[in-house]
Structure 1
Amino acid sequence: MSLVESLRDGELLLLQFANPPVNGLSHALRSGLYAALEQADADASVAAVVLYGGPKAFSGGADIREFGQPQALAEPNLPGLCARLDAMSKPVVAAVDGLALGGGLELALSCHHRVVVGTAQIGLPEVNLGLLPGAGGTQRFPRAVGLATALQMVPSGQPRRAAQLAALSGQLLVDELAESATLLDQAKALARRVASQRPLARLRDRSVEADPSELAAAEAQAAALPYPAPLACVQAVRGALELPFDEGIAAERAGFQRLMASPESAALRHAFFAERAAAKVPGIEADTPRRAIRRVGVLGAGTMGSGIATACLMGGLLVDLVEPDAAALARGVAALDKHLQAQVSKGRLSADKAAALRANLRPGGDDAVLADADLLIEAVFEDMALKQSVFRRLDALAKPGAILATNTSTLDVDAIAAVTQRPADVLGLHFFSPAAVMKLLEVVRGAATAPAVLASALGFGKQIGKTCVVAGVCDGFIGNRMIDRYLEQALFLLDEGCSPQQVDQAIEAWGFAMGPFRMIDLAGNDVSWRIRQQRAKDGTLRRAQPLADRLCELGRFGQKSGGGWYDYEGREAKPSKAVAALIAAHREQLGRAPRAVAAEEIVDRLLLALAVEGERLLAEGVALRASDIDLVYLAGYGFPRWKGGPMFEAQRRGPEALAARRREFAALAHDDPQFWMP
């Protein structure tokens, strides 16, 4: 079947795209549309053309299935298709519903008129892939909506509803607003009215007027960002103001090609595909049964339990929050209410919507209510005996078919499942703190976890807006097992002569949102201390961390106690004289004289520690693919998206450079030589 369906309606030619799910502009669609436009231009019986995508999407842009393939740039490419629309001798009307994003919007802008449903999403999100619009978007869009709006939308990649843009003074983007039901009829009526009008209404023939100071401010803002695409977007938009149209198009195309070759764009495109690959899980198919999850029971109202309950409420679910300690329950509910109120204050929720969500919460101290839940999530203290006791109780309470999930961050999910009579219904749902905000959800598949349970958990994660990555069972799963090695190297660097701030500053300058010592202070040093104590009790502690233990023995748990690796005034971290003295005494006990450590070595030690442990996770089958590991770090640990993730970064360096650096670190006397070996 052709991806462009042609239909005559009197003197009109209707061309409908048919490339689900979002009418991606594949080579086949572009070729079919180009040929149809050529034929329409040559046919004297055609007075005007209407382009239509459908109620879900006019077009979502490039077809991601062709990314990186020769057909993505094959003729007719999108710039050539847009130029063909410019060259038409008769008018073309775009009927826009659903999505008009990226190349889809560029195609619509190249048409002479646009009838648009008010709820349609309009945007140029190429910057999110480290690119700029490459088919005239930076030239036509400012002419359609004005420079100020273009400077807000193009460098940010944020879409807007068509109705918002249609309300702009002097806008040329929307000729008429329509309802979905009447869109095509309105577009045809407009096409008939303009069929004989000449000259044709081409955006390329319009000029852009603006205050140059708007450009200067946008350039300064974009230049402060850590990757080149936003600034390149602003500079391309400048061409719409300062250059003739064809020169602006040429400058835009040159900028697109430069960015396409940049490491930042390669990393951002890798992240884009990593998100899509993570949804493909062996054994989970489209026809795998899913269990309906409408009511969630959360056991434990501490920081994690309250956050999980909040995330579930925000996802539209009914929630029972159970906590036998009345004071702890009150604190958990207060934290939940505070989050909802913050969403209202920021304009993300209406007061009525927040109240409706809050009404879906049943807090209480009696766990008998959990018998109603479709999904039960325990969020109690990280202790195996306690969690097994909880799961025996949940097993007795839960209705048949209910899913039992543990929020453990390190413990053996199979050992927890083994104490129940339904291990096939048990899995891990490892949320990251703060659970209502952090995007990552590690979905831990146990040895007995049924495919329907895993599929249902992934659907649940999607419903509450999480980025789900499936992991196998091991100590720490993907993220925390790797972060142990990262933190271990950070502590080695203190042994060798670095200060906490020196380590943090080096990795933050490279691009991390937060260095290891600020991160662990935020999470709470006591959390990892308790885990070390549990591992020592279980005989699974791989390496003692006496310096970190001494810090906790002094009560320096991080931000919450006013001091950790730093001293805190509110949230501001300041170097600590007490910690400096603690480190100096520790070095003296080790008999280690401090040495100067370059920032480059700090960065490489930390990054490669992640990648080396990631290799082991892949070899053991704990992680399904390298891109899943990258996604865990992008979504859960503040790894800079424009760097692609630890596995991508290691691959980017090349095997020879990587091997040489590993040999160098293996030779350090106090490090773990076996760890660095392939």
Structure 2
Amino acid sequence: MDHAFYEEKDGIAVITFNNPPVNGLSHGLRKAIVEGVDRANNNTAIRAIVLGGTERAFSGGADVTEFGTPKAGQAPTLRTVIEVLEQSAKPVVAAINGVCLGGGLELALGAHYRVAAAAARVGLPEVKLGILPGAGGTQRLPRVLGLEKALNMIVSGQVVKAATLADSALFDKVVEGDPQAAAIDFAKGLASDVPLKRVRDLAVSDADADALLLNARNAVKAGSARFPAPAACVEAVAASTNMAFDDGLAFERQQFTQLLNSSESLALRHVFAAERAATKIPDVPADTPLRPINRVGVIGAGTMGGGISMNYLNAGIPVVLLEQKEEALQRGVATIRKNYENTMKKGRITAEQVEERMNLLSTTLSYDALGEVDLVIEAVFEDMGVKEVVFRELDRVIKPGAILASNTSTLDVDQIAAFTKRPQDVIGLHFFSPANVMKLLEIVRGAKTAKDVLATCIDMGKKIGKKPVVSGVCDGFIGNRMLYAYRDAADEVMLQGAAPSQIDRALENFGFAMGPYRVGDLAGLDIGWAIRKRKKEADPQGYEEVVADRLCEAGRFGQKTGAGWYRYVAGDRKPQVDPEVENLIETFRKEKGVTSRKISDQEIVERCVYALANEGAKILEEGIALRASDIDIVYLNGYGFPLHRGGPMHYAQQAGLFNVVRALRQFGATSARPQAWQPAALLEKHAESGDALK
């Protein structure tokens, strides 16, 4: 494969990158650039050199698949390539189109001149991978943008359009048309007797440098305490103000190397790759024709139905919202409007945008009004009998070829599909509450779901700003099935002696946004109680009472009643430890014949997180999830798992699968339910082989 094409146009050497999809700076491309520059410099007929990519990308930056491999450091490195550009005897002009990110922007900063398309998107987003620009970005960007602007871009990873920086020294010219043609014309006009410009020779001057850096350090300390990269970015940029250029480069490299080997960077790079892998389905070709989605129907105007509707309204897609009663319908519409107006008050959308979105919403009390929608999503009560009524009606009125989706969080999608004469058109679209905010979309593929239905829903999920993950059919799918194991582990360690507040605190210190008992109080304990009561009715002998049942019997449903696992003062959501709950738990322990013991925070975390990983491994071996990384995406985006830990499967891998399996066996040895701690066969297999879970 030719990683770059070399051609000569009227005395200008044009080197065009060819490493699709985004011209990642792989070893092959780096080598091709150096060879092209050398070839041009050795030809007396060449006056200047133009570097360019495609309409889609100048370069998306480093090839992340090379991180941690010998090729990452194989000569020529990106730093060497940039030095070759700077030292070129003939002027080098970067023609920037599409995306120019990370190492791609660092490469462009090594050129003597830069011509960009106005719509080109530039930035140094390495901080989002837990690292910092490692090829001079922290030293060169402040020299062309000034300290404040460069600091903000590097520490936040912000990506901006070239047009917004047209008046800076970053660009010599910003054009509306083809930047490569403009760069060639620009190169032809360069005077041969003028010294070549090098960014490294510029100075960083800012009278407020000390104040800017102090503010940046304080902001990073307050907002990114769990991630070392933002703070390292600040210090590397600071080096551009108080060190000689080469010393600043050396300091930047030292910081980069330290971050590259950090657990946080490993986690973020894992997530980066996992998000891209999640939408690739092995038996669904990338070119599968998609069904058009021009109008969506939503059944149910409650909290979930309203939130689901907002996703499509935000994307400019008309929604028909159905309810059984006019009062419920108007209440749902009022809530949607209120949500938009609150967003407007925060300055995120305009009053005009509020009206545009509301005008895309229509309402109905009749299923017949849904006849022409392309996708319909039910968001009704989680009961199979209710779902049956809805889907039989949808089967009657919805046009052929439309997609019928259930927002069920636990129920059998295949059984739901069987209520229709078109099971191939039925799929699960499990949104998470609040549906207009939460990023996760669990797409449940039924046994008969058509491939184009699946492909269409994945594509639509991305268009409405979600992170889609495909799941097979089982009780609870990926997320909630694992949640059962997590909560059971928490309940068991509580029964053995830990207080709910200690369990919450331990898991929040680990990085969860909220512990399981605070989450329970927020969501409402009556929801789980209703599910457990149905299970008890179905199997009275097999049902085992839990502490939460006693709380609910006492009317303690969480924040909504002012008491749950904690008590709450009116108007204050801060949980307060309640001695009444502690007494209730101790009574429950005595009834079960349990003598409480002192339990460390480390044991709490290991029990809860390893229970997640173990259930995840079972889900993986059953084929419910396609990849271990898909499970991580579910838990990171739907269940508050800490981003810097990379997800439960990644975390287990980093802890060592041998250690995880050993701990599971130890927990089972002291448990009243040892079968729950039996390590998954897949986990045992990989612990033995040392191979990573895929």
**In terms of mean alpha carbon deviation, does 374-383 or 60-69 score higher?**
60-69
In the other structure, the counterpart of 1:198 is 194
Structure-1 residue corresponding to 2:217 = 219
Give the SS at the match of 1:372.
coil
Question: 1:49 maps to which residue?
Answer: 49
Matched, 1:676 2:674: no
Q: 2:204 aligns with which of 201, 205, 208?
A: 208
Q: Could you say what secondary structure the match of 2:189 adopts?
A: helix
C-alpha change, 1:642 and 1:543, in structure 2 (3 Å) is farther
**Who is 2:452 aligned against?**
452
Report how far residue 542 of structure 1 moved. Answer: 7.2
SS in 2 for 1:316: coil
Q: Does 1:663 align with 2:661?
A: no
Aligned partner of 1:633 in structure 2 is 635
> Does the 8 Å contact 1:47/1:195 carry over to 2?
no
Q: Which residue of 2 aligns with 1:648?
A: 650
Q: Deviations over 1:296-337 (max 9, x none)?
A: 111011111111111111122111110112222222212211
Residue 561 (structure 1) shift: 3.4
For 1:513 and 1:541, the matched residues in 2 are separated by: 37
1:351 pairs with 2:351: yes
Aligned length: 674
DSSP 3-state at the match of 1:49: strand
Partner in structure 1 of residue 23 of structure 2 = 23
- Separation of aligned partners in 2, 1:106 and 1:561: 56
For residues 466-496 of structure 1, the C-alpha deviation after alignment (integer angstroms, 9 at most, x for no partner) is: 1111111111000000001111121222222
SS at match of 1:239: helix
The answer to whether the Cα contact below 8 Å between 1:154 and 1:233 also exists between their aligned partners in 2 is yes
Quote the offset at 1:623 in angstroms: 1.1
Which string of whole-angstrom CA distances, capped at 9 and with x for unpartnered residues, describes residues 592-637 of structure 1?
A: 3432211101111110010111111112111111111111101111
Find the counterpart in structure 2 of residue 95 from structure 1: 95
Could you tell me how far apart the structure 1 residues matched to 2:544 and 2:369 are? 42
Q: Displacement, 1:67? A: 4.5
| Aligned-partner residue type, residue 603 of structure 1 | V
Partner of 2:244: 244
SS state at 1:155 partner: helix
Answer whether contact 1:666 1:677 (CA < 8 A) is retained: no
Q: Deviations over 1:262-281 (max 9, x none)?
A: 11111111111111111121
- 2:184 equivalent in structure 1: 188
Larger mean Cα displacement after TM superposition, 599-608 or 224-233: 224-233
C-alpha separation in 1, matches of 2:129 and 2:320 = 40
How far is the alpha carbon of 1:539 from its aligned partner? 4.1
The 5 Å alignment of 1:59-78 reads 59-78=59-78
Residue of 569, 575, 578 corresponding to 2:577 = 575
- Partner deviation per Cα, 1:623-676 (whole Å, 9 max, x = no partner): 111111111101111111221111111111113322221122112243434433
- The Cα RMSD (Å) is 2.0
Give 1:399-418 correspondences, 5 Å limit.
399-418=399-418
Match of 1:269 in 2: 269
Structure 1 Cα separation of the partners of residues 541 and 454 of structure 2? 30
Question: Shift of residue 434 of structure 1?
Answer: 0.6
Cα offsets for 1:243-298 (capped at 9, x unmatched): 11111111211221221111111111111111111112132102323211111111
- Tell me, in whole angstroms, the C-alpha distance in 2 between the residues paired with 1:334 and 1:542: 44
The answer (yes or no) to whether the contact 1:405–1:428 under 8 Å persists in 2 is: yes
Amino acid corresponding to residue 217 of structure 1 in structure 2: N
Q: 1:542 to 1:95 in 2, by over 3 A?
A: farther
Match of 2:489 in 1: 489
Deviation digits for residues 1-55 of structure 1, max 9, x if unmatched? 5232223232322222222222222222211111111122232322222222232
Question: Which residue of structure 2 aligns with residue 509 of structure 1?
Answer: 509
**Which deviations, in whole Å up to 9, do the C-alpha atoms of 1:355-383 show, x marking residues without a partner?**
22221111222221111111111100011
The match for 1:176 among 173, 190, 194 is 173
- Greater shift after overlay, 146-155 or 56-65? 56-65
CA distance in 2, matches of 1:424, 1:414: 10
SS at match of 2:156: coil
Q: What amino acid is aligned across from residue 642 of structure 2 in structure 1?
A: P
CA contact (8 A) 1:90 1:195 kept: no
Corresponding residue of 2:590: 588
- 1:441 Cα offset (Å): 0.7
The corresponding residue for 2:604 is 602
| Aligned pairs for 1:1-16 within 5 A | 2-16=2-16
Name 2:687's counterpart in structure 1.
Answer: none
Match of 1:620 in 2: 622
Do 2:367 and 2:393's aligned partners in 1 also have CA atoms closer than 8 Å?
no
| In structure 1, C-alpha distance between the alignment counterparts of 2:677 and 2:540, rounded to whole Å | 17
CA distance in 2, matches of 1:312, 1:559: 31
Q: CA offset at residue 116 of structure 1?
A: 1.9
Amino acid at match of 2:613: A
Report the alpha carbon displacement of residue 508 of structure 1 after superposing the two structures with TM.
0.9
> What's the secondary structure of 1:573's corresponding residue?
coil
Q: Which moved more, 1:508-517 or 1:350-359?
A: 350-359
Q: Which residue of 1 aligns with 2:686?
A: none
- Between 258-267 and 543-552, report the one with greater CA deviation: 543-552
C-alpha distance in 2, partners of 1:146/1:562?
A: 53
Instruction: Quote the residue 1:338 is aligned against.
Output: 338
> What is the match of residue 547 of structure 2?
547
User: How far is 1:450 from its partner?
Assistant: 1.5
**C-alpha contact 1:271 1:644 (8 A) present in aligned 2:** yes
- Answer whether contact 2:117 2:178 (CA < 8 A) is retained: no
Q: Which amino acid in 1 is paired with 2:638?
A: G
Segments of 5+ residues of structure 1 without an aligned counterpart are none
SS of alignment partner, residue 171 of structure 2: coil
SS at match of 2:58: coil
- The letter for the 2-side match of 1:122 is V
Q: Deviations over 1:382-436 (max 9, x none)?
A: 1111111211111111111111111111111111111211111111111111111
Amino acid at match of 2:663: R
- 1:325 pairs with 2:294: no
What is the identity, as a one-letter code, of the residue corresponding to 1:634? L
Q: Distance in 1 between matches of 2:402 and 2:344?
A: 33
Task: Confirm or deny: 8 A CA contact 1:535 1:541 kept in the other structure.
Answer: no
For 2:474, what is the secondary structure of its paired residue? coil
- SS of 1:572's partner is coil
1:153 aligned residue: 153
Question: Contact (CA 8 Å) 2:213, 2:234: kept in 1 or not?
Answer: yes
Measured at CA, do residues 161 and 572 of structure 1 come closer, stay the same or move farther in structure 2, by a change above 3 Å? farther
Matched position secondary structure for 2:363: strand
Q: 1:406, 1:430 within 8 Å by CA — same for their partners in 2?
A: yes
Task: Give 2:683's aligned residue.
Answer: none
SS at match of 2:94: strand
Fraction of identical pairs, as percent: 49
Q: Which amino acid aligns with 2:188?
A: R
More moved, 260-269 vs 520-529: 520-529
What's 1:389 paired with?
389
Contact 2:96–2:180 (Cα < 8 Å) also in 1: no
